[in-house]
């Protein structure tokens, strides 16, 4: 049972942070593939077991009971206003999901009943999410916040082939957080106790997803800006690295960090000097070998014969007496 107090706790911004406190923000779009082990908690169990439901069943149950609103998927332009609200009946008809009108349903408050076997959980194999990375001066930290989530239906065409992706609708995380916080899940095969909730899973960023778009003026996706797969991968890694290192650049390093950085720089410089010394020594040996080879190819010169001086014996035995 979700009370109004729980709804207010999760939907209200209890931190009191406003746009005036936010000095920097970047909006990231990710694709969460449920085939990855890190994201398996969003898909399993496929069928409700002991009161546990997967994420898509929770969302569809809330939509069928007219508990939360859904917004139209606008191909990359997310506008969560009343103008772009989408009716649950239109969603069910568009994706051929069988339903019946529930008891107590009215024109102003439509409610629907969907059989468990008719919920296409086995076809929702990925999600799109909108992340808002923001740095606020009140807390002096950078934090990612999941703003909205979109189930993506993987359904094969009439003529077979690879399954096509159909983004269904957007739901705001603020609208479903109270209900996600009430659903316990387990995320580790080595521990079969439910240690967290779906809300914890998104709040702590336990999921793994590839960046497929960043908010930009031209509203282009990453694939449009980087058609080459290798360039796309490098761009995605670069964006993620900048996000991870953004907060590190905001702080003055400690004395220990400065000393460690200096030692690394000296070690790198010493390694470079050693390499240069080895190269210089190798070059000198090469030059010496070349000179010796050139000398060995020349004809040897004849040795010089010195002429001995012929002196008289009188010169050799001059008397000391005659020096007067």
Query: How many whole angstroms separate alpha carbon 238 and alpha carbon 188?
Result: 30
- pLDDT at position 278: 57
Which of the pair, 161 or 265, is modelled with greater confidence?
Answer: 265
* Residue 286: Cβ within 10 Å count: 10
Show Cβ contacts of residue 20 under 8 Å, excluding neighbours closer than 6 positions: none
| pTM across the whole model | 0.74
Q: At residue 321, does pLDDT exceed 70?
A: no
Percent of the chain beyond pLDDT 70? 75
Show Cβ contacts of residue 32 under 8 Å, excluding neighbours closer than 6 positions: 39, 42, 126, 127, 128, 129, 207, 208, 209
Query: How many whole angstroms separate alpha carbon 165 and alpha carbon 140?
Result: 39
CB-CB contact of 132 with 25 (8 Å): yes
- What would the mean pLDDT of 281-299 be, rounded to a whole number? 53
- List, for residues 7-18, the tens digit of each pLDDT value: 666 665 545 566
- List, for residues 77-101, the tens digit of each pLDDT value: 788 999 999 999 999 999 999 999 9
Q: Which helix (H) or strand (E) holds 16?
A: none
């Amino acid at each position: 049972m979700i009370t109004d107090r729980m709804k207010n706790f999760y939907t209200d911004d209890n931190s009191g942070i406003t746009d005036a406190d936010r000095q920097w923000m970047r909006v990231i779009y990710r694709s969460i593939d449920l085939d990855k082990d890190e994201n398996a908690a969003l898909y399993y169990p496929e069928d409700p077991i002991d009161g546990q439901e997967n994420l898509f069943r929770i969302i569809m149950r809330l939509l069928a009971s007219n508990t939360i609103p859904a917004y139209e998927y606008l191909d990359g332009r997310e506008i969560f206003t009343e103008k772009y609200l989408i009716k649950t009946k239109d969603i069910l008809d568009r994706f051929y999901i069988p339903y019946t009108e529930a008891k107590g349903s009215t024109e102003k408050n439509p409610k629907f009943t969907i059989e468990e076997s008719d919920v296409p959980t086995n076809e929702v194999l990925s999600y799109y999410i909108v992340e808002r990375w923001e740095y606020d001066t009140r807390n002096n930290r950078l934090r990612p916040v999941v703003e909205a989530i979109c189930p993506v239906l993987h359904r094969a065409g009439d003529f077979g082939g690879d399954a096509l992706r159909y983004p269904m609708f957007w739901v705001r995380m603020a609208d479903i957080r109270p209900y996600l916080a009430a659903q316990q899940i387990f995320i580790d095969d080595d521990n079969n106790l439910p240690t967290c909730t779906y809300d914890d899973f998104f709040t702590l960023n336990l999921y793994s997803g590839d960046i497929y778009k960043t908010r930009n003026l031209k509203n282009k996706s990453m694939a449009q800006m980087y058609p080459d797969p290798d360039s796309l991968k490098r761009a995605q890694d670069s964006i993620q690295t900048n996000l991870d290192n953004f907060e590190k650049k905001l702080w003055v390093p400690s004395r220990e960090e400065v000393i460690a950085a200096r030692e690394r720089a000296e070690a790198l410089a010493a390694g470079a000097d050693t390499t240069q010394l080895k190269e210089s020594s190798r070059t000198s040996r090469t030059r010496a070998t070349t000179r010796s080879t050139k000398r060995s190819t020349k004809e040897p010169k004849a040795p010089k014969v010195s002429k001995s001086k012929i002196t008289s014996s009188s010169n050799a035995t001059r008397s000391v007496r005659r020096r007067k």
